[in-house]
Amino acid sequence: MTAPLVPADYPAWLADLKTRIRETRLRAALAVNSELIGLYWRIGRDILERQAEQGWGSKIVERLATDLRAEFPDARGFSSANLRYMKAFAEAWPDPAILQRLVGKLPWGQNIELLAVKDPAARLWYAEAVLENGWSRPVLAAQIDTNAHGRHGKALTNFSRTLPPETSDLAQQVLKDPYQFDFLTLRAAAHERDVERALVTRVKDLLLELGKGFSFIASQHHLEVGGQDFYVDLLFYHRRLRCLVAVDLKTGPFRPEHAGKMNFYLAALDDLEREPEDSPSIGLILCRDHNRVVVEYALRNVDTPIGVARYQLLPPETLPEAFAGALPTLDELEPGMLPADGPHDE
């Protein structure tokens, strides 16, 4: 028996149908989540209002949890602890418009994590970042623990002078100070190449710390200028800024000559590799420490956009001894996990 002939347009129609089904299921899941978050907010608001206006005591939460679980034995989410979260949730976001526009679109777990942020402006920033970046609950918790809000936009730069106004503000907000590379376990005396190699082996964590928009291109990116070879430690492309981002790693404090070296890299990248539709390349010098006055003097007469920021590591000696001994060193990692050692521009 021969198989029935498939119409020529069937594969395309099937692919489109699969896409529509996935999109519909996603919209349905988001709608369910939004309804659930809205319910939790209204329950929390009701508890707050009754305690404020009618003098209901704190024990009403335990009573309510018992009654709701008796009525809805198969439903999750009505424990006394979760009811207290609902109350705190409504107190943290009193404006219903925020519920509709923002936090109603976030999963309940992420909303619980946001309650740890007491400053309303910072809490709003994290909520918007979750929606924009799709952070999971553990990632959000890590961002809060490392004060991502306080670090964004804090790098020392010359962007206001070297980039157009419509670009400089966004570029400033893209960079942080300091960067937290606490997913690395390196000795305090680790060399620049050790840090670079370790970052490349954990490139997903690196991109998460850098933030949305960064795409990794290469480590030890080769540039040939005047018949001589030079190497950019790490090269990225930023999708929103539409430009190359060159990163130079320094294991010591910032020195003025670092700005001259980065200026050279950016001039070469713009001449040799920048596409016609791209914006000017941006440089980021990552060092273990910097002096603000020295950085400002070093960047004052530099016409290429450069930022300077610190980075922090989690050295093995800060870990519990049982864990530190179980972590592999760079020499113990499989060779295939590391970038090939090429020439290194000192």
- Judge if 82 and 223 occupy the same domain: no
In this structure, the answer to whether residues 109 and 167 fall within a common structural domain is no
Same domain for 224 and 159? yes
Indicate if 157 and 127 belong to the same structural domain.
Answer: no
Domain of residue 135 covers: 48-146
Interatomic CA distance for residues 249 and 172, integer angstroms: 19
pLDDT at 2: 58
Is the same domain home to 130 and 208? no
202-218 pLDDT per residue, tens: 888 899 899 989 999 99
Same-domain check for residues 166 and 313 = yes
Which residues are within 8 A (CB) of 319 and not within 5 positions of it... i.e. 6 or more apart? 185, 327
pLDDT at residue 319, rounded to an integer: 41
Q: Are residues 166 and 121 in the same domain?
A: no
Based on the fold, state whether residues 139 and 168 are members of the same structural domain.
no
- Give the residue from 98, 123, 146 where a domain finishes: 146
Residues 126 and 55 placed together within one structural domain of the fold: yes
Structure tokens at 107: 């999963």
Residue at which a domain ends, from 111, 146, 181: 146
175 plus 68 within the same structural domain: no
Instruction: Tell whether 180 is covered by a domain.
Output: yes
Global pTM value:
0.73
| One-letter amino acid for residue 285 of the chain | I
Look up the CATH number of the domain holding residue 237: 3.40.1350.10
Residue 330 shares a structural domain with residue 217: yes
Of 122, 146, 170, which marks where a domain is finished?
A: 146
Taking a C-beta distance cutoff of 8 angstroms, is the pair 335, 203 a contact? no
C-alpha 66 chain-centroid distance? 40
Report DSSP letters for 17-85, one per residue.
Answer: HHHHHHHHHHHHHHHHHHHHHHHHHHHHHHHHHHHHHS---TTHHHHHHHHHHHH-TT--S-SHHHHHH
Identify the pLDDT of residue 150: 93
Number of domain units in the chain: 2
Same domain assignment for residues 208 and 243 = yes
pLDDT in tens, the chain (346 residues): 555 677 777 788 778 888 887 877 777 776 778 888 999 999 999 999 888 877 777 788 888 888 988 888 888 888 999 999 999 999 999 999 999 899 999 999 999 999 999 999 999 999 999 988 888 899 899 899 989 999 999 999 999 999 998 899 999 999 999 999 888 877 666 788 888 888 888 888 899 899 989 999 999 999 999 999 999 999 999 999 999 999 999 989 999 999 999 999 999 999 999 999 999 999 999 999 999 999 999 999 999 999 999 998 865 444 444 433 444 443 433 333 333 444 445 4
Tell me the sheet residues that pair with 141. none
